[in-house]
Amino acid sequence: MGEHSYDIVIIGGGVMGSAAAYYLTRADERLRVAVIERDPTYARASTTLSMANARIQFSLRKNVEISMYALEVLENFETEMAVEDRKPAISYRREGNLFMVDADGRDDAEAALAMQQSLGCRIEWWTPEETRQRYPLYDTNGYVGGTFGPHDGHFDAYAFLMGYRAKARSQGAVFMEGEGSEIITQHGAVAGVRLQSGDVLRAGVVINCAGAWCAEIAATAGIELPVQPTNRQVFALDTAVKPETPLPLTVLPSGLYFRTETGGLILLGKSMPDDAVGFDFRWDDKRFMDELWLELATFVPSFDRLKLVRGWGGLYAVNTLDGNAIVGQWPSVKGLYLANGFSGHGLQQAPAVGRYLTELILGRPHVLDLSIFDPQRIMEKRPLTEKGLV
C-alpha cells in the first residue's frame, strides 16, 4: 500500500476518461494526470459495446453543437491523434442518419430541423418518394417524410478510444489498472481516491468518468446520482437481400434503429421499457424474433428473410431525471467533477465534454459552454428537455 500524488485523478478510462486526459494534458503538459481503469480490455465498457454513431439530429441545441464539434474531430482524428508515425484507423463512414417522420412527429421534426439548419447544419427534409428513390427497399407508407443528415456516420469506437488513450499517454497521462473504491473528501473538498488495493492517489481534482458504474463511486462521496445502468441489446443480421448501397442509421418513430455494418451485416437495436436495470449484459434472440423482426420487415419487406448471426448487450448510463449528460463540478464537494449519464450518445459527446471539463478545471474561457448540463440541476431536480433520448 502506498500513497501517490497527482493534480487530477480520473476514475474510469473509457472514452470520457481518455478524452478528458487527452484535453487536460494537451492544455498543460505539466499536469500530473492519472486515469484509473479497472478493465483495460474494455470488455464491458459502453464505449466498445456501442453503435458508434455520431449524429447532428438532436432537438436540444446544445446537443447539436456538441455533435458539430464531434464531426469536426472525427474528420481530423487520425492525424491529430498520431503518436510519432503511428496513427489510429477509426474507419469513419459518413453514411448518414435518417429519421423517419410520421404525422404525429411532424411538428417536432420540423422544429428540430429549423433549429439545426439555423446553426448551419446540412440536414435535409426528404419526402417519402425521395426516401424510396434513395433506399428502394424501404416501404414509406404511413410516413410523411424523413430528415437526413449526410455528414453523420459511424466509426470504430475501440480505435477511437485507443487513439485518445495513446495520445494522452504520449502527453504524460498515466493510465493505471486498478479499481477506485472510494472518493476521499475532507471539509467539503475532494482529497483523492482510494483504490481497492489499498493504495491512495492524492489529488485536489477528481473526475468521475465511471460510465454506468458512476453512481456507485459517487455514493462513496455521499452523492446520490440518478443514473441507472440499463441493458440495451444490439442484433447483427445477415439479410438474404443485400441493399445496393449502405443503409444509413435509420430511426423509426418507435425508436427502432438499424444501419449497415462493415461486412454487409445489418445492426439493429431498440430501447425497450422492460430493458433490465442493473449490470446485465445479456442479449436475447427471442426479443429480436418475437418483438423486433416484424417491425423491421414491415418497413423493409425484403428483410423478411434473414439470419440472426449474433448480438450483444451493453449498458446505457441512464440519467433518470432527464436523459441528458451531467457535466461539471458537484456543488457541495469542491474539486469533484462529473462526466456522467450519457445514455445512448456519450461516444460522440466525449470530445466536447473532455474539452469543456479541461477549461472548467483550468479556469479558461469556454469554446463551447456546456453549463446547461451542470450538476446543480440534479441537486435541484430541474430536468432539461430533449425528446427521444432515453
Ligand X SMILES: Cc1cc2nc3c(=O)[nH]c(=O)nc-3n(C[C@H](O)[C@H](O)[C@H](O)COP(=O)(O)OP(=O)(O)OC[C@H]3O[C@@H](n4cnc5c(N)ncnc54)[C@H](O)[C@@H]3O)c2cc1C
Question: Which positions lie near ligand X, rule CB under 6 A?
Answer: 11-17, 36-39, 42, 45-47, 49-53, 179-180, 209-213, 217, 232, 234, 269, 314-316, 342, 344-348
Which lies closer to ligand X via its Cβ, residue 101 or residue 227?
A: 227
Q: Give per-residue burial for 213-223: e unless 16+ CB within 10 Å, then b.
A: bbbebbeebeb
CB–CB of 90/160 below 8 Å?
yes
For residue 213, the 8-state DSSP code is G
Residue 245 CB, nearest approach to ligand X (Å): 20
Residue 173 exposed, middle or buried by CB count within 10 Å (0-12, 13-18, 19+): buried
Which lies closer to ligand X via its Cβ, residue 180 or residue 375?
A: 180
In sequence order, what are the residues at sequence separation of 6 or more whose Cβ sits closer than 8 angstroms to the Cβ of residue 371? 328
Residue 127 CB, nearest approach to ligand X (Å): 27
Residue 2 CB, nearest approach to ligand X (Å): 18
Residue 239 CB, nearest approach to ligand X (Å): 20
Residue 52 CB, nearest approach to ligand X (Å): 5
Concatenate the DSSP letters of all residues of 364-379 into one string. Answer: ---SS--GGG-THHHH
Q: To 10 degrees, the CA torsion angle through 31, 32, 36, 40?
A: 80
Which lies closer to ligand X via its Cβ, residue 53 or residue 59?
A: 53
Residue 56 CB, nearest approach to ligand X (Å): 12
Which lies closer to ligand X via its Cβ, residue 13 or residue 146?
A: 13
Distance of alpha carbon 361 from the chain centroid: 22
Which lies closer to ligand X via its Cβ, residue 13 or residue 105?
A: 13
CB–CB of 313/279 below 8 Å?
no
CB–CB of 260/243 below 8 Å?
yes
Residue 313 CB, nearest approach to ligand X (Å): 8
Supply φ then ψ for residue 44, to 5 degrees.
Answer: -115, 5
Which lies closer to ligand X via its Cβ, residue 138 or residue 257?
A: 257
For residue 57, the 8-state DSSP code is -
3-state secondary structure of 36: strand
Which lies closer to ligand X via its Cβ, residue 145 or residue 337?
A: 337
* Calpha distance 46→37 (Å, rounded): 13
Which lies closer to ligand X via its Cβ, residue 128 or residue 168?
A: 168
**Cell of residue 216, nine digits:** 456507485
Q: Which long-range contacts (CB under 8 A, 24 or more apart) does 108-113 make?
A: 108/59, 108/387, 109/145, 109/147, 111/59, 112/57, 112/58, 112/59, 112/147, 113/147
Residue 39 CB, nearest approach to ligand X (Å): 4
Q: Helices H, strands E: what count in the chain?
A: 10, 20
Residue 114 CB, nearest approach to ligand X (Å): 24
* Calpha distance 107→101 (Å, rounded): 10
Which lies closer to ligand X via its Cβ, residue 74 or residue 210?
A: 210
Concatenate the DSSP letters of all residues of 90-145 into one string. Answer: ---B---EEEEE-GGGHHHHHHHHHHHHHTT---EEE-HHHHHHH-TT---TT--E
Which lies closer to ligand X via its Cβ, residue 13 or residue 248?
A: 13
* Calpha distance 13→70 (Å, rounded): 19
Residue 149 CB, nearest approach to ligand X (Å): 13
